[in-house]
């Protein structure tokens, strides 16, 4: 490669001969590819991914990469000179694919970690290739985002008129974004400009309400928003781990008489532990009467109501002021993809809009771009997430979404039925959606609760070690519980029945 800085090195030439300083530019590295090379590299990668998918079902669900490999991955030195892109594709294929997380395997029941729809993954490749920043005047991307967030409203039953939706990184960010709007709303009602004053004004303590079953990201949001976890009040739950409306009324009343300023209730539509859906209608009644913001964390369960058998659980969802949901969970949109829906779009804009002079092109949204998403959230440069949502939802259609959810809920009932039919298994929580909590408990068990916990822990480990299934436990009132979350579109009765059989087999073996 020619060093273009010859002029500087040689020093100035005779000024009489050289009329002006010339700014020569060195050659850059080769980062771009010819269209032919791009095609060929892409083909190489897609071929590797197709082989990977073909071999996946026969593989261990969650392969543990050898520790030498993980060390090597960590310790790599930044190469001084660049490598050939084919070698990089091969390195990724050889080293990363065999060590994938496991959530793309139909035998994976852990956490709430979904696989990706292939069409969504391909859409992601296109979005990344074109690299549209979807924060501002990007007509196709912003209109597509407006379209898919409307679809998400329609699918969840959230009112469309006057509402705003933006795609964010995931459920944590979706909850944080919504709670920031709630905080802004409350401060505004109190004649307080929280954007200029911040939380330094020595005002009454703002309090919000959730149960112990609420996701940890709610607590994180409360901390990030400067509200303080002391002001996230815990509301009692009923026997099904749902928020108790009577309990809520008592806690709020006590706080009001103590001079605090209750402003928001965070209800769950599908908790991570057991999939419980809080009684949204009753909570909405209370919030309306008490002038509280109702936020619903539906990161996992927001779409559950599309199952006709579950829709009664979701009555009242449409009365929420905001809803957090994760297309990267039940819809299998590739990670990362969350969404915040807010009933009052102007309020959301007021919370976040800050356009520096250099950002404005024409001073306002245009006919081409209905709004600038950057004005409704934290991010300025944002990925074109809408494309993978659009592709996944378009392949499914409304009926496909419904069939997916109905099937998963039915598989959960099948699993629960098998648990109830087995003399050595029992449910540890009611089944609301596609999560089943259960444990092994041999008939006539005389041991302690601790011993039963330990036995179940060993069963969980033994099943995971077997390599055909992978699942993770939870703790319910301090007791160890096995837990299976059904969220993979390829999971079927074979996997569900196999998991139950594997648990019973491991339990019997460990007891013997
Ligand atoms: C997954 C989940 C979250 C967190 O979402 P992320 O996408 O992991 O950030 C929050 N709440 C509930 C109910 C969830 O299931």
CB neighbour class for 117 (10 Å; exposed up to 12, middle 13-18, buried from 19): buried
CA dihedral 438, 443, 447, 452 (to 10 degrees): -20
pLDDT at 11: 47
Interval 171-194: pLDDT, tens: 999 999 999 999 999 999 999 989
Q: Check whether 366 has a pLDDT greater than 80.
A: no
Q: Are 389 and 217 in contact (CB under 8 A)?
A: no
CA distances from residue 311 to 152, 321, 461 in whole angstroms, order as listed: 16, 19, 36
Q: Which phi and psi (to 5°) does residue 441 adopt?
A: -150, 100
Is 495 touching ligand 1 by the criterion CB < 6 Å? no
* Nearest CA residue ID for atom 6, ligand 1: 171
Interval 91-124: pLDDT, tens: 999 999 988 999 999 999 999 999 999 999 999 9
Task: Report which of 453, 419, 422, 455 is spatially closest to residue 437, judged by C-alpha positions.
Answer: 419
pLDDT top residue among 8 and 186: 186
pLDDT at 16: 56
d(CA 492, CA 277) in angstroms, rounded, equals 24
* Nearest CA residue ID for atom 4, ligand 1: 171
DSSP bridge pairs for 166: 340
Q: What is the DSSP letter of 169?
A: S
Closest atom of ligand 1 to CA, residue 336: 7
Q: Are 271 and 307 in contact (CB under 8 A)?
A: no
User: Once rounded to an integer, what is the mean pLDDT over residues 162-174?
Assistant: 98
pLDDT at 493: 98
Task: Report which of 470, 447, 456 is spatially closest to residue 506, judged by C-alpha positions.
Answer: 456
Q: Check whether 363 has a pLDDT greater than 80.
A: no
d(CA 433, CA 75) in angstroms, rounded, equals 43
pLDDT at 4: 40
The band of 75, judged by pLDDT with boundaries at 50, 70 and 90, is very high
Task: Report which of 469, 478, 327, 345 is spatially closest to residue 390, judged by C-alpha positions.
Answer: 327
d(CA 359, CA 373) in angstroms, rounded, equals 13
Strands in 425-427's sheet, in edge-to-edge order, are 425-427, 435-440, 479-485, 474-476
User: Once rounded to an integer, what is the mean pLDDT over residues 153-157?
Assistant: 98
Read off the pTM: 0.94
d(CA 314, CA 306) in angstroms, rounded, equals 9
pLDDT at 10: 47
Q: Check whether 354 has a pLDDT greater than 50.
A: yes
96: left (phi over 0), alpha (psi -120 to 50) or beta: alpha
What's the gap in Å between 357 CA and the centre of ligand 1? 36
What's the gap in Å between 373 CA and the centre of ligand 1? 22
Q: Check whether 211 has a pLDDT greater than 60.
A: yes
**Mutate which of 113, 116, 172 to test ligand 1's pocket (most atoms within 8 Å of Cβ)?**
172
Q: Are 120 and 128 in contact (CB under 8 A)?
A: no
Q: Look-up: residue for tokens 């020595």?
A: 202
Q: Check whether 13 has a pLDDT greater than 60.
A: no
Is 170 touching ligand 1 by the criterion CB < 6 Å? yes
d(CA 344, CA 162) in angstroms, rounded, equals 6
Q: Are 499 and 109 in contact (CB under 8 A)?
A: yes
User: Once rounded to an integer, what is the mean pLDDT over residues 48-57?
Assistant: 96
**Mutate which of 176, 217, 221, 338 to test ligand 1's pocket (most atoms within 8 Å of Cβ)?**
217
d(CA 58, CA 52) in angstroms, rounded, equals 11
The band of 160, judged by pLDDT with boundaries at 50, 70 and 90, is very high
Closest atom of ligand 1 to CA, residue 298: 13
**Mutate which of 113, 215, 242, 301 to test ligand 1's pocket (most atoms within 8 Å of Cβ)?**
215
Interval 266-307: pLDDT, tens: 999 999 999 999 999 999 999 999 999 999 999 999 999 999
Q: Check whether 9 has a pLDDT greater than 80.
A: no
Q: Are 262 and 292 in contact (CB under 8 A)?
A: yes
pLDDT at 479: 97
In this structure, what token pair is assigned to residue 16?
A: 């009489």
User: Once rounded to an integer, what is the mean pLDDT over residues 245-271?
Assistant: 98
pLDDT at 359: 61
User: Once rounded to an integer, what is the mean pLDDT over residues 16-29?
Assistant: 80
Q: Check whether 358 has a pLDDT greater than 70.
A: no
Q: Please provide the average confidence, as pLDDT, over all residues in the chain.
A: 94
Task: Decide: helix, strand or coil at residue 168.
Answer: strand
Is 300 touching ligand 1 by the criterion CB < 6 Å? yes
In this structure, what token pair is assigned to residue 53?
A: 């998918």
Is 295 touching ligand 1 by the criterion CB < 6 Å? no
pLDDT at 201: 78
pLDDT at 18: 61
In this structure, what token pair is assigned to residue 41?
A: 């590299």
What's the gap in Å between 212 CA and the centre of ligand 1? 15
Is 172 touching ligand 1 by the criterion CB < 6 Å? yes
User: Once rounded to an integer, what is the mean pLDDT over residues 403-417?
Assistant: 98
What's the gap in Å between 290 CA and the centre of ligand 1? 28
* Nearest CA residue ID for atom 3, ligand 1: 171
397: left (phi over 0), alpha (psi -120 to 50) or beta: left
Which residues neighbour 509 within 8 Å (Cβ) at sequence distance 6 or greater? 462
Q: Check whether 8 has a pLDDT greater than 50.
A: no
User: Once rounded to an integer, what is the mean pLDDT over residues 218-223?
Assistant: 98
* Nearest CA residue ID for atom 12, ligand 1: 299
Task: Decide: helix, strand or coil at residue 474.
Answer: strand
pLDDT at 336: 98
Instruction: Name the least confident of 18-32, 160-174, 184-198, 231-245.
Output: 18-32
CB neighbour class for 115 (10 Å; exposed up to 12, middle 13-18, buried from 19): buried
The band of 6, judged by pLDDT with boundaries at 50, 70 and 90, is very low
Closest atom of ligand 1 to CA, residue 326: 7
Is 338 touching ligand 1 by the criterion CB < 6 Å? yes
* Nearest CA residue ID for atom 8, ligand 1: 171
User: Once rounded to an integer, what is the mean pLDDT over residues 300-328?
Assistant: 98
Closest atom of ligand 1 to CA, residue 328: 7
pLDDT at 5: 43
């Amino acid at each position: 490669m020619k060093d273009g800085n010859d002029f500087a090195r040689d020093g100035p030439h005779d000024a009489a001969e050289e009329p002006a300083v010339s700014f020569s530019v060195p050659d850059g590295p080769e980062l771009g590819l010819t269209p032919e090379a791009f095609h060929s590299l892409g083909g190489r990668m897609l071929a590797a991914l197709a082989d990977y998918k073909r071999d996946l079902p026969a593989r261990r669900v969650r392969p543990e990469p050898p520790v030498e490999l993980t060390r090597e991955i960590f310790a790599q030195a930044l190469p001084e000179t660049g490598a050939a892109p084919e070698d990089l594709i091969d390195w990724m294929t050889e080293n990363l694919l065999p060590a994938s997380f496991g959530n793309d395997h139909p035998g994976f029941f852990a956490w709430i970690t979904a696989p990706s729809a292939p069409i969504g993954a391909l859409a992601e490749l296109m979005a990344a290739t074109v690299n549209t920043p979807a924060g501002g005047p990007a007509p196709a991307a912003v209109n597509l985002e407006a379209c898919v967030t409307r679809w998400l409203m329609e699918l969840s039953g959230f009112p469309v008129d006057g509402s705003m939706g933006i795609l964010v990184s995931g459920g944590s960010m979706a909850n944080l974004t919504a709670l920031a709007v709630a905080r802004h709303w409350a401060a505004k009602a109190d004649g307080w400009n929280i954007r200029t004053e911040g939380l330094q004004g020595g005002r009454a303590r703002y309090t919000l309400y959730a149960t112990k079953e609420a996701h940890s990201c709610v607590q994180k949001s409360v901390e990030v928003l400067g509200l303080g976890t002391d002001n996230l009040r815990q509301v009692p739950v009923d026997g099904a781990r749902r928020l108790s409306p009577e309990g809520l009324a008592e806690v709020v009343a006590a706080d009001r008489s103590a001079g605090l300023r209750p402003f928001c209730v965070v209800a769950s539509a599908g908790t991570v532990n057991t999939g419980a859906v809080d009684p949204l209608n009753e909570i909405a009644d209370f919030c309306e009467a008490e002038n509280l913001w109702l936020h619903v964390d539906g990161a996992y369960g927001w779409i559950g109501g599309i199952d006709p058998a579950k829709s009664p659980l979701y009555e009242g969802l449409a009365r929420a002021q905001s809803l957090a949901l994760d297309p990267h969970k039940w819809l299998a949109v590739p990670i990362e993809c969350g969404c915040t829906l807010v009933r009052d779009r102007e309020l959301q804009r007021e919370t976040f809009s800050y356009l520096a002079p250099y950002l404005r092109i024409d001073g306002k949204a245009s006919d081409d771009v209905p709004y600038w998403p950057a004005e409704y959230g934290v991010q300025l440069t944002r990925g074109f997430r809408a494309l993978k949502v659009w592709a996944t939802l378009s392949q499914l259609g409304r009926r496909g979404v419904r069939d997916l959810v109905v099937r998963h809920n039915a598989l959960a009932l099948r699993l629960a039925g098998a648990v109830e039919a087995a003399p050595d298994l029992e449910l540890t929580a009611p089944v609301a959606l596609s999560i089943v909590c259960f444990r092994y408990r041999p008939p006539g068990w005389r041991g302690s609760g601790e011993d039963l916990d330990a036995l179940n822990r060993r069963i969980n480990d033994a099943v995971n070690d077997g390599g055909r299934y992978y699942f993770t436990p939870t703790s319910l009132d301090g007791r160890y519980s096995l837990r299976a979350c059904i969220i993979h579109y390829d999971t079927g009765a074979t996997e569900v029945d196999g998991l139950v059989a594997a648990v019973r087999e491991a339990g019997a073996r460990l007891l013997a």
